[in-house]
Chain A
Amino acid sequence: MAIIEARGLTKRFDGLVAVDHIDLDVEEGEIFGFLGPNGAGKTTTIKMLTTLLKPSEGEAKICGYDVVKQPDLVRKSIGVVFQEPALDDQLTGRENLDFHARLYGLNRREREERIEEVLKLVGLEDRADELVKNYSGGMRRRLEIARGFIHHPRILFLDEPTLGLDVQTRRAIWSYIMELNKREGITIFLTTHYLEEADNLSDRVAIIDHGKILAVDSPRKLKDMIGSDVITLRCSEPNRLKNILESISWVKDVKHHGEELSIYVEIGETKIPKIIKIAEENGIRISSITLREPSLEDVYLDFTGKSIREEVKPMIRRPPRFRRLR
């Protein structure tokens, strides 16, 4: 039985469908990546799976417990690290952990042991007694991850765990996540809009856009679907070249995004000279050409028809707030 199971899970906000009849089966022990641009419905899905939002339709089971009917049992089995920091910055790191451990019913001995353990795992044992307001963004994230699994949850939900962090910190967080998954055997459900994050961490990835799941598989298999190689080029008349190339039998697919053409072929190194020749014959000037293996970006492009980078603004956007009370 899947540890996370969703059937037709849907959330509407005033006529807007944020999550649209999604089905999910996450197996125990895996790292499951939920990949999509901002506003795709990732956070809303996490909020429904963690009992913070009620689904408009459909159902979800966490460790066999229904998120609507048995929210307390669900809450006991999960840890959650939210996209926006959820620490009390006027308490110390240790106090934040202690607060959490008590809320989850750990006794004094368990608390002391476990707090030391998780602090060590995320490398914060030296700074534990400082107020959180003096922590850097990366330290806060580490503390939150430590807090998320202090009570031995079976599943840890991470919503954009490395949003807004620099590359180095991001890599450090990745290694903590993998370590956690290996050492404690915790199932990890993480959302991200960073392709390499999904690629590096996840055993399986679901691609979500406009509230719908477009594909679910391991990163490897998703990439294999695309074909063996991708040739990316910049040229003077991309649209015309695209039309010409599409009629050639060995070209599997051509995608035009921004100023670039992505051409999907087998054995790419033998096709580059041919493409250059075709372009020259048609009077199209190629300014650059590269060959690479397909990345998750190509998979994403293939499924959504747009590049994920086109959507992601460099600024950290807060998700829309859907809290409305009646």
Chain B
Amino acid sequence: MNSLELQAIYVMWMRQIKRFMRARGRLVANIIQPFFFLAFLGLGLRPIRLPGLRIGMSFLDFLAPGMVALSIIFASMFAGVSIIWDRQFGFLKEILVAPVSRFSIVVGRTLGGATISIIQGLTILAISILFGAEINLIGLIPGLFMMLLTAFFAVGLGIALASRMEDPHAFSLIMNLIMMPATFLSTAYFPLESAASWLRALIYVNPLTYIVDGLRGCLTNSFSIPPWIDLTVTISICAATMSIGTYLFNRSEA
């Protein structure tokens, strides 16, 4: 990879950071929903006992890593899908006609999306600690690695969707029809062990489950699924969406 490609990755990353810094309202808008969940659900159900909650683990402790994971997934997906808006507003052509590879463009956008979404995820984490969630701070190191994989997975998914869609409205349909149920079935809101057995089957097929469980394990030492399975699944889906996203974006035309 030559310096021009590195430069391209850098500018694509920089552009997203700049846009993010300028649209501070967006940060608030993105954080507000998980904030309410933490505040009302987390604090409201704090003393509740559920199968799957370790002794001494409050519902807030349980909920916080899930909210971090979901906010990273949504922010990253949005960053990937924003290619649609670039296409709509014509800026994509400026990028595609430049003498840099599409691969570098994808990498730059992915890193940009990941940076932004992890900043948001860490903000949520900080808020939940302020609310009194007990977080294992040493677990933050493997936790950050999980967050990065999560972000890559979701940006790749967003890019893949954006490369196939011409209409930005189709995106909100996908969000409501697929992402909404997928988040409910990801163990972000309730433990795997509390779910009815037919629901449990759905939870196991949902790839988001392994992301949420893996991150929760890192941050609270409480895994419902063996960590190596979480990691393997997360790495696999990450590799899958990234390669599909790159492939589809490579074939798309301005």
Contact = CB atoms under 8 A, between A and B. Distances in A.
A323 B253 contact: yes
A302 interface: no
Contacts of B19: 88, 90-91
A102 B15 contact: no
A77 to B, nearest CB: 9
Which 8 pairs show the lowest CB-CB distances between chains A and B?
A75-B99, A86-B90, A103-B98, A86-B94, A76-B99, A105-B4, A84-B90, A102-B11
Most chain B beta carbons < 10 A, residue from A100, A103, A147, A321: A103
Given A86-B92, A323-B252, A325-B251, 6 more contacts: A75-B99, A86-B94, A88-B15, A91-B15, A325-B164, A325-B253
A86 B205 CA distance: 42
Nearest to A80: B97
Interface of A: 47, 50-53, 72-73, 75-76, 78, 80, 82, 84-91, 95, 99-100, 102-105, 147, 321, 323, 325
Main secondary structure of the interface of B (DSSP, over half): helix
Nearest to A50: B97
A104 B98 contact: yes
B7 A82 contact: no
A89 B91 CA distance: 9
B4 A89 contact: no
A219 B244 CA distance: 50
14 contacts: A47-B254, A52-B93, A72-B99, A80-B97, A85-B89, A85-B90, A87-B90, A88-B15, A102-B7, A102-B8, A103-B99, A104-B98, A323-B254, A325-B164
Given A76-B99, A90-B19, A99 B93 contact: no
Contact of A105 (B3, B18, B89, B97): B3
A86 B98 CA distance: 13
A76 B89 CA distance: 23
Contacts of A86: 89-94
A90 B23 contact: yes
Contacts of B163: 325
